[in-house]
Amino acid sequence: MQICVIGTGYVGLCSGVGLAAKGNQVACVGRNKDKIAGIQQGIPPIFEGGLQELLQEVLRNGLFRATDDFAGAVKEAEATFLCVGTPSGKDGRIDLTEMRQAAAQVGEALPDGYCVVVVKSTVVPGTTEEMIRILEERSGRKAGKDFGVCMNPEFLREGRALQDFLQPDRVVVGQLDPRSGDVLQRLYAPFQAPILRTDLKTAEMIKYASNSLLATKISFANEVGNLCKQLGIDTYAVMGGVGLDHRIGPHFLRAGVGFGGSCFQKDVSALKSLAEDQGVPAPLITDVLEVNRRQRFKIIDLLERRLPVNGKTIAILGLSFMGGTDDIRESPALDIIPALLQKGAAVRAYDPQATRHVRPLFPQVTYCASAREALAGADACLLLTEWEEFRSLTDQDFSGMRSPVILEGRRMLDRSKVSRFEGICW
Ligand code: UDX
């Protein structure tokens, strides 16, 4: 099929490259000419495992192109995916500015023949119906008759976004009408995953409920973890036992410094605001965020029990919000570093990928090219991101520290390799 993807972020690019890899002809539309040029040369603007290799393959076999010709790409497409940003506004409510603009532009460029417009960005229930009104106003055409509309949420984890796109647990197809859904049914048939056909609002809510439940599992794991820590129990042993229950499952029960990333905070905030606007009490959803906010400062409390921070040098290992990505949005490090600086600490930091994004935010931090360099001369160390390379750290790497105060927030250190460290919840 001829596909147009609006947006060159990790959802748009991974979806576009993934659909091209399945044999579709994909045009990925962006506004930034430098980004477009880079993608055309096979260099993605984001760091995602496997993306560069697959992008170069689909470029080579002519199945994928990046362009800033919005109208041209929409006109040729049988399906146009809206993968634009839907960030949190100041009050935590979803900001639909980009989505509305994209819907208006698509409306103006709709092809003469039948096509389907697909909202893929994460949007609160009722949003796709608002986009339909914009599409009809701008095109003078009737949705469900002259063109189709679907809502097809993404469940991509950063760092594994391409793998999650190519091997989904399920494909959710919210449809305005069966003809619209049939187009996506055909598009996703090669993915060998269950395809769930729903109405538009159900598909929108499945995404919010999924993300909010995942975030809830993490905050629950952290609350139990904090209690286990107090009781001298290893919470990972506890959650290992809990996760064997097939009704619960082992995933997203890892206690630590809490969740970061552009999605959980944004989506849980939007769901909280939606409940408030509807006058429906949702205290659990509200507390998921508060538990997570407090958790990242817990590692500083533990540190201050071990040494006075003022005047000390603290090494931070890990700046991105999780291993495998250079994305720092909502990363625990972005709250922990300023808190340490405020307490009079000198901070040294190392991250395999994310340093370039953090350096402008905290120029007073010393950025290092390796963990060992960051640890040299430090009075304490905080491990904040689950980068695989941190699993292989040994006492030797920490031997350059002035004092062996090592606190980890992501269960990465191996007691057989590092003899002295303390976990935030273990
Ligand atoms: C999340 C959802 O998983 C994904 O389905 C959705 O489409 C986008 O949001 P993402 O935020 O990219 O994906 O990564 P994820 O693997 O979910 O991790 C999010 C954060 O939670 C990271 O900071 C990670 O360190 C943390 N986390 C994850 C935990 O603290 N404990 C866990 O058990 C799992």
What is the 78 CA–ligand 1 centroid distance (Å)?
33
DSSP sequence for 150-163: EE----PPTTSHHH
Strand, helix or coil for residue 66: strand
Strand 195-198 with 366-367, pairing: unpaired
- pLDDT reported for residue 326: 85
Rounded average pLDDT over 165-171: 97
Residue 424 CA to residue 410 CA, distance in Å, equals: 8
Nearest-atom index, ligand 1, CA of 332: 23
The protein residue whose alpha carbon is closest to atom 14 in ligand 1 is: 157
Catalytic residues: 263
The protein residue whose alpha carbon is closest to atom 3 in ligand 1 is: 157
CATH of the domain at 17: 3.40.50.720
204 found inside a domain: no
What is the 7 CA–ligand 1 centroid distance (Å)?
22
Mutate which of 48, 158, 212, 259 for ligand 1 pocket (most atoms within 8 A of beta carbon): 259
How far is CA 359 from its chain centroid?
21
215 found inside a domain: no
Please determine, for residue 416, whether its predicted confidence score (pLDDT) is greater than 90: yes
The protein residue whose alpha carbon is closest to atom 34 in ligand 1 is: 252
- Span 213-226, pLDDT tens digits: 999 999 999 999 99
If asked whether residues 250 and 396 sit together in one domain, one would say: yes
Q: State which H helix or E strand residue 283 sits in.
A: helix 283-306
What is the 384 CA–ligand 1 centroid distance (Å)?
14
- Span 312-352, pLDDT tens digits: 999 999 999 999 888 999 999 999 999 999 999 999 999 99
The parent domain of residue 166 ranges over 2-198
Please determine, for residue 57, whether its predicted confidence score (pLDDT) is greater than 90: yes
What is the 169 CA–ligand 1 centroid distance (Å)?
16
324 lines ligand 1 (CB under 6 A): no
What DSSP character marks residue 390?
Answer: G
If asked whether residues 377 and 238 sit together in one domain, one would say: yes
Please determine, for residue 419, whether its predicted confidence score (pLDDT) is greater than 90: yes
Residue 158 CB neighbours (<10 A) = 25
What is the 186 CA–ligand 1 centroid distance (Å)?
30
Output the CA torsion 231→236→237→242 (10° steps).
100
Mutate which of 322, 330, 384, 412 for ligand 1 pocket (most atoms within 8 A of beta carbon): 322
Rounded average pLDDT over 151-173: 95
- pLDDT reported for residue 92: 81
Nearest-atom index, ligand 1, CA of 386: 25
If asked whether residues 277 and 150 sit together in one domain, one would say: no
If asked whether residues 139 and 175 sit together in one domain, one would say: yes
- pLDDT reported for residue 158: 86
* Residue 209 binned pLDDT confidence (cut-offs 50, 70, 90): very high
Cβ burial of 73 (10 Å; 0-12, 13-18, 19+) is buried
Residue 68 CB neighbours (<10 A) = 15
Please determine, for residue 58, whether its predicted confidence score (pLDDT) is greater than 90: yes
Nearest-atom index, ligand 1, CA of 217: 33
Rounded average pLDDT over 357-380: 97
What is the 261 CA–ligand 1 centroid distance (Å)?
7
Please give the mean pLDDT across all residues of the chain. Answer: 96
* Residue 93 binned pLDDT confidence (cut-offs 50, 70, 90): confident
- pLDDT reported for residue 122: 94
261 lines ligand 1 (CB under 6 A): yes
Cβ burial of 142 (10 Å; 0-12, 13-18, 19+) is exposed
* Residue 89 binned pLDDT confidence (cut-offs 50, 70, 90): confident
Cα angle value 225/231/237 (rounded, 5°): 50
264 lines ligand 1 (CB under 6 A): yes
The protein residue whose alpha carbon is closest to atom 9 in ligand 1 is: 263
What is the 41 CA–ligand 1 centroid distance (Å)?
30
93 lines ligand 1 (CB under 6 A): no
The protein residue whose alpha carbon is closest to atom 26 in ligand 1 is: 259
If asked whether residues 295 and 400 sit together in one domain, one would say: yes
If asked whether residues 226 and 191 sit together in one domain, one would say: no
- pLDDT reported for residue 159: 82
Rounded average pLDDT over 381-410: 96
141 lines ligand 1 (CB under 6 A): no
Q: Which residue has the higher pLDDT, 47 or 365?
A: 365
Cα angle value 154/157/161 (rounded, 5°): 80
321 lines ligand 1 (CB under 6 A): yes
Q: What percent of the chain has pLDDT over 90?
A: 94
If asked whether residues 155 and 249 sit together in one domain, one would say: no
If asked whether residues 135 and 53 sit together in one domain, one would say: yes
If asked whether residues 392 and 255 sit together in one domain, one would say: yes
* Residue 127 binned pLDDT confidence (cut-offs 50, 70, 90): very high
- pLDDT reported for residue 66: 98
170 found inside a domain: yes
If asked whether residues 376 and 267 sit together in one domain, one would say: yes
Looking at the 3D structure of the chain, how many domains does it have? 2
- Span 265-288, pLDDT tens digits: 999 999 999 999 999 999 999 999
- pLDDT reported for residue 281: 95
Nearest-atom index, ligand 1, CA of 210: 5
Please determine, for residue 125, whether its predicted confidence score (pLDDT) is greater than 90: yes
If asked whether residues 319 and 395 sit together in one domain, one would say: yes
164 lines ligand 1 (CB under 6 A): no
Q: Give the pTM.
A: 0.94
Strand, helix or coil for residue 43: coil
Rounded average pLDDT over 99-115: 96
SS3 string, 188-221, reads HHHHCCCEEEECHHHHHHHHHHHHHHHHHHHHHH
If asked whether residues 173 and 238 sit together in one domain, one would say: no
Of 176, 87, 195, which is closest to residue 131 (Cα–Cα)?
Answer: 176
* Residue 104 binned pLDDT confidence (cut-offs 50, 70, 90): very high
Cβ burial of 315 (10 Å; 0-12, 13-18, 19+) is buried
What are residue 425's phi and psi, to 5 degrees?
-135, 20
